[in-house]
Structure 1
Amino acid sequence: MSQHAVEANFDGLVGPTHNYAGLSWGNVASKSNVNAVSNPREAALQGLAKMKRLADRGYVQGVLPPHERPHVPTLRRLGFTGSDAEVLASAARKAPELLAAVSSASAMWTANAATVSPSADTADHRVHFTPANLGAKFHRSIEHVVTGRALKAIFSDEGYFAHHPALPPVAQFGDEGAANHTRLCAGYGDPGVELFVYGRCAFNDAAPAPTRYPARQTLEASRAIARMHGLRDRNRVFAQQNPAAIDAGVFHNDVIAVGNGNTLFYHELAFLDEAAVLADLRARLTGTDLHAVRVSSEDVPLEDAVASYLFNSQLLNAPDGMVLAVPGECREIASVSRYLDALVGDGGPITSVEVFDVKQSMRNGGGPACLRLRVVLTDDERAALNSGVILTDSLYERLTAWVEAHYRDELTQDDLADPMLLDEVHKALDELTGILGLGSIYDFQL
């Protein structure tokens, strides 16, 4: 029986160490801006402005906290000793690449935080969470522990929420979270179809795979998550991403496709077997027809899709149709801008386009969709979560003042070794957990 439910978006607050270290091979934007000077304050305020704009439109908007960075405990595990200041100085001198990695603010992209299955899809009718192991990149592989703590602090009622540990941190079970997962349904409270998109088969060397850039998500990881979440066959589809798209810089499926409700917005080169994917989705989707909005290479070349992050947009339900929330870069590339103008007038499900300025995030390779984790919640589940993380006018004002008080407006790679930066981060995060009512989730607090 269907229950009333909404799709809540939980955005990651950009952390105080937001910087451009170019850590993500396969992410064109990340590599192209390496060593540029970043503005953590502006980045955080841009993210908050995006959240506020959507909250003002009536969408349920939550906040996920940044992580503790630089993460000195990781440096200690790698052999650096002494006081915190001595650890930072030694790492900067002997292994600056490690200091950059443990200072990354990449947890801001909460589309990678976890995979979430709504209670309408799961066997025990609870919302299931599995933090992503993010094993493809060292700087991200250290995130899942604190991500898991934060999710448990927010969704703590075990009567409604089930939490799983991250998958084993090995290449065969590489898992990138909801960036390779989307859900289609007639209504949010109805059983839906969860689309798991993978880049390679870990235990089948003969299967197609990219040759230039790594495929970060494996079929084996996607299948394991579906099992842990108790998804039935009718509630899941596994689809392989087109290896050519990965080699063009489409490191996650959400750079080439986005879905919501009964609408799938995708590029023609998104999937290895487009026809089979659509057929599987249509066969399993109940109570509604699939609206497949296909973008051709003729209209938007793949390189323009990657450069603009057209598909790394948020697709949102609205009273008069779907809203596509795009990054400003979509209006700077002629083919994409022309396509968007034609899209809203073609009589399809997407009826409006709204532009968001998330340039600080985009320069590091993440658009509007990267910044949010979608969680479908019934009314009872909403009442059971920690409401301190739900964005209100008051919380927005408190978080804005918090950012203004604690964030620098300029950060370079050399600044990462500054022990004062670590002190600033600890002070800021200690205050933030109080604001959000999360308790002690960081290593320095435990």
Structure 2
Amino acid sequence: MSHLALAAREVNFDGLVGPTHNYAGLSYGNVASQASKQQCSNPREAARQGLAKMQALMELGFEQGVLAPHERPDIASLRRLGFAGSDAQVLESAAREALPLLLSASSASAMWTANAATVSPSADTHDGRVHFTPANLACKFHRSLEPTTTARILQAMFRDPAHFQHHAPLPSVAQFGDEGAANHTRFSHDHGAPGVEFFVFGRSAFDPRYPEPHRYPARQTLEASQAIARLHGLSEEGVVFAQQNPAVVDQGVFHNDVISVGNAQVLFHHEDAFLDSDRVLDELQGKLARRGGQLQRLCVRRNEISVGDAVRSYLFNSQLLDRPGQGALLVVPDECRQNPAVWDYLQAQVNSAGPLGEVKVFDLKQSMQNGGGPACLRLRVALKPDELAAVNPGVRFTPTLHTQLLDWVDRHYRDRLAPADLADPQLLGEVRTALDELTQLLGLGSVYPFQLP
């Protein structure tokens, strides 16, 4: 039996890049986002790059799905902040009086669906259902606008209450800062078997014993990770909590998926990724072994690749795809090939007897310049056959949907967008027209504020 016929499958639901994809430099602590600030973006090219990755992985036999972008600019949020009048007047006054707020309300950051939610498969949960908790993204204003719409979209995708359980986002306060699956990885010997869920946090809100970074903020709290584990009904034997190394957070590692990636039984990580690394990884290895798995660690030493090179290339913000019997497939951005130290390391690993069997390179420059690589663009959901059959069929990626989405992008997306263009009322109209058509194409129903009563 091939890996494509396993009883349960991991589905990658990739975020469609939104029509207002722009470089406003909103994410302090994200080096690439800051470096690209105020440059012109190309939303059409960004969406096409993401669709090309989805298509290539689908053609390799991996199950793919699509998460819809959000409505931006977020007029409702600007109104809550005191801007009044028609939509055009709200945009004009926000641009004149508080441009940073308009930029935040226009961010297409929902494209990075690794931050959309934390997902626990049915094999791990107390009630045998797949559990979803949308991330509150409380650390950044522009991202804190996302959870309500994200929740609606996820509920429209995973509707059947017999298979899927949806939780509300955690309280949107710093103490429960939650950044979703970017700080969560699941390990198991089979996607349908009980596994170990690995939660990585940057700081503790209430326990002073945990050190914090000095330069950049730690976004995920221990308390948020613990709350999600409780909500999802995970057992103690199926959970490991690990703290990010504060020193690497201060070097631009704003999420764990910038310094570590795992899947199935493989953990690919930098030597400096975790605090108290030996203890944490021993615990992970032991718990996985008791669930029938065997952890395979691929640890990159700092004398092989520096943290700086890892951040610049987004080596660890890659997709690690399980292919039993063939070695894992690592999907990396082209920036990895352009970095000699990183590329030489990857070639050596593929040619060794290690867990990596193949590396595939994709051009994701539009996303990368805003601080998101292949891993940022997808939300992983392990599904058994009956659960996969219960997913809204409109969001499952097929050759026909790929063609339809390319046509949709070409008709509705601009090929050049500067931050100043975000105040254009015509852009808002273009976005709403595009999204209204998209919800019909994906069978989502009414999920956006402009569609609701």
- The 5 A counterparts of 1:307-346 are 307-318=312-323, 319-346=325-352
Q: Specify the alignment match of 2:156 in structure 1.
A: 153
1:196 to 186, 196, 199: 199
Alignment partners' CA distance in 1, 2:209 and 2:126? 34
Per-residue deviation, 1:207 = 2.0
- The 5 A counterparts of 1:346-385 are 346-385=352-391
Say which SS state the counterpart of residue 154 (structure 2) adopts: helix
Say which SS state the counterpart of residue 82 (structure 1) adopts: coil
1:136 to 134, 139, 143: 139
Alignment partners' CA distance in 2, 1:205 and 1:316? 37
1:13 to 4, 13, 16: 16
Q: Specify the alignment match of 2:294 in structure 1.
A: 289
2:90 to 74, 82, 87: 87
Q: Which stretches in structure 2 are left out of the alignment for 5+ residues? A: 1-5
Alignment partners' CA distance in 2, 1:76 and 1:236? 42
Between 169-178 and 345-354, the greater mean CA deviation after superposition: 345-354
Q: Specify the alignment match of 1:386 in structure 2.
A: 392
Per-residue deviation, 1:334 = 1.2
Q: Specify the alignment match of 1:65 in structure 2.
A: 68
1:428 paired with 2:434, answer yes
Extract structure 1 runs of 4+ deviating beyond 4 A: none
Alignment partners' CA distance in 1, 2:111 and 2:162? 28
1:185 paired with 2:188, answer yes
Alignment partners' CA distance in 2, 1:279 and 1:179? 22
1:98 paired with 2:104, answer no
Amino acid at match of 2:298: V
Per-residue deviation, 1:312 = 0.2
For residues 16-41 of structure 1, the C-alpha deviation after alignment (integer angstroms, 9 at most, x for no partner) is 00000000000000000000000000
Say which SS state the counterpart of residue 447 (structure 2) adopts: coil
For residues 153-202 of structure 1, the C-alpha deviation after alignment (integer angstroms, 9 at most, x for no partner) is 01000000000000000000000000000000000000000000000010
Alignment partners' CA distance in 1, 2:209 and 2:389? 49
1:413 paired with 2:419, answer yes
Alignment partners' CA distance in 2, 1:281 and 1:121? 15
Q: Specify the alignment match of 2:3 in structure 1.
A: none
TM-score between the two structures when normalised by the length of structure 2: 0.97
Amino acid at match of 2:222: L
Amino acid at match of 2:429: D
Per-residue deviation, 1:204 = 1.8
For residues 410-436 of structure 1, the C-alpha deviation after alignment (integer angstroms, 9 at most, x for no partner) is 000110000000000000000000000
RMSD across aligned positions (CA): 0.7
Q: Specify the alignment match of 1:266 in structure 2.
A: 269
1:227 to 221, 225, 230: 230
Per-residue deviation, 1:206 = 3.9
1:298 paired with 2:303, answer yes
Alignment partners' CA distance in 1, 2:63 and 2:239? 26
Q: Specify the alignment match of 1:47 in structure 2.
A: 50
Amino acid at match of 2:382: V
1:164 paired with 2:167, answer yes
Q: Specify the alignment match of 2:126 in structure 1.
A: 123
Per-residue deviation, 1:289 = 1.1
Amino acid at match of 1:161: F
Q: Specify the alignment match of 1:36 in structure 2.
A: 39
Alignment partners' CA distance in 2, 1:288 and 1:419? 55
Between 253-262 and 202-211, the greater mean CA deviation after superposition: 202-211
Amino acid at match of 1:52: Q
Alignment partners' CA distance in 1, 2:293 and 2:90? 57
2:258 to 244, 255, 258: 255
Q: Specify the alignment match of 2:446 in structure 1.
A: 440
Per-residue deviation, 1:117 = 0.1
Alignment partners' CA distance in 2, 1:32 and 1:352? 31
TM-score between the two structures when normalised by the length of structure 1: 0.99
Between 312-321 and 75-84, the greater mean CA deviation after superposition: 312-321
Alignment partners' CA distance in 1, 2:301 and 2:165? 40
2:81 to 78, 88, 91: 78
Q: Which stretches in structure 1 are left out of the alignment for 5+ residues? A: none
Per-residue deviation, 1:407 = 0.1
Alignment partners' CA distance in 1, 2:75 and 2:195? 42
Per-residue deviation, 1:282 = 1.2
Q: Percent identity?
A: 63
Q: Specify the alignment match of 1:24 in structure 2.
A: 27
Per-residue deviation, 1:288 = 2.2
Between 336-345 and 59-68, the greater mean CA deviation after superposition: 336-345
Task: Count the aligned residue pairs.
Answer: 444
Amino acid at match of 1:303: G
Amino acid at match of 1:439: G
Say which SS state the counterpart of residue 128 (structure 1) adopts: strand
Say which SS state the counterpart of residue 41 (structure 2) adopts: coil
Amino acid at match of 2:374: P
Amino acid at match of 1:289: Q
1:110 paired with 2:95, answer no
Amino acid at match of 2:254: F
Q: Specify the alignment match of 1:56 in structure 2.
A: 59
Amino acid at match of 1:344: V
Per-residue deviation, 1:371 = 0.1
